[in-house]
Chains A and B, each alone.
Chain A
Amino acid sequence: MNWIYEPWPWYIGGPMITFIMFLLIMVGKRFGMSSNLRTICTMCGAGKKTDFFRFDWKSQRWGLVVIIGAVIGGYIGSHFLSNDLAVAINPDTIENLNTLGFESAGKTYLPTELFGNAVFFDIKGLAILIIGGIFVGFGARYANGCTSGHAISGLSNLQLPSLIAVIGFFAGGLLMIHVLFPLIF
């Protein structure tokens, strides 16, 4: 069972994602994570502002339970199922990140430059997290789904709109990493 403490290779991680989608389909639900953000808006009273949030959020309670599970799973994965949290990325990537000022590349799970608590005193780092988050939330709802809803669920169901969305995801990601990153960092 030692393998479980090692980072999982893609051929375990990928099939596990399909297995999770299988379980959700078999209990009559679907695999999609970003719609919960809309449910949370509704719970917070966003329905008073606009129709988009006027629906019975209790019908989506199952999704909130799934994301609470995801939080617990993250805790279990990092605290009980891992010895070493460093992510062994490509040495070329590490070198590249070092030149951008990410000294933690190859040593940690998340860059401490952005996700260490010192970021709360760093206006630029904080702005990156806030802007990144807003784009994720806004974009996911505009595109009617995120990586799970489109790239896995939608494409598995051979939906053309999901293919367009996934092409958009990658176009946006490549634009950010190759064009905007050198300007930001």
Chain B
Amino acid sequence: MRTLIYLFIGILFGITMFKSEAASWFRIYEMFHFQSFHMYGIMGSALGLGIILVQSIKKFNIKSFYGEKIEFQTKEKGFKRYMFGGILFGLGWALAGACPGPIYTLIGVGSLPMLVVLVSAIFGTFLYGLFKDKLPH
């Protein structure tokens, strides 16, 4: 049952990424040229509502659908890993025109070359695991 719920959420996410055009390489390119409000509107409204959502859950101590306490992850403090990792991610995001969510979505759309991006992203993750201890964090 829970598996079906996760599948449903994923389907909703894939449809949203595709239909909102957040999965379009062109939209990402346009965003980095500041030539449209579209992507900023998507991320801004998602974030604005997200802040209200998360802060309300915390303030009113809302329980999950299963009656459990909701825990939010606190990100480990630091600067270097977030800035350096962020810049590397941004370089790839702009070049491939897709972040991880849209990569999965676009495979469903039927783009075979996107499989190359996915396999490369998995390999990139593996490389991070190999060199993790040598990198500044």
Contacts and interface: CB of A to CB of B under 8 A. Distances in A.
Q: Do A and B come from one complex?
A: yes
Interface of A: 4, 7-30, 33-34, 36-38, 40-41, 44, 46, 49-50, 52-53, 62, 65-78, 81-82, 87, 89-90, 92-93, 96-97, 105-106, 109-111, 114-117, 119-120, 125-126, 128-148, 150-162, 164-178, 180-181
Given A33-B99, A70-B11, A142 B84 contact: yes
B60 interface: no
Contacts, number: 499
A148 B113 contact: no
B37 A10 contact: yes
24 contacts: A13-B16, A13-B20, A13-B21, A27-B66, A34-B100, A37-B100, A69-B13, A73-B17, A74-B18, A75-B109, A75-B110, A76-B11, A78-B18, A89-B27, A109-B26, A125-B113, A138-B128, A139-B87, A139-B89, A144-B76, A151-B43, A162-B75, A172-B89, A177-B29
Interface size grouping (class) on chain B: 35 or more
Which of B55, B87, B89, B118 has the most CB atoms of chain A within a 10 A radius of its CB?
A: B89
Given A8-B21, A69-B12, 8 more contacts: A72-B7, A74-B107, A135-B89, A137-B92, A139-B86, A144-B76, A159-B74, A165-B86
B61 interface: no
A128 B95 contact: yes
Contacts of A154: 75
B9 A23 contact: yes
Chain A interface secondary structure, helix, strand, loop or mixed? helix
A73 B10 contact: yes
Which of A8, A29, A87, A139 has the most CB atoms of chain B within a 10 A radius of its CB?
A: A139
A27 B33 contact: no
Contact of A141 (B20, B90, B119, B128): B128
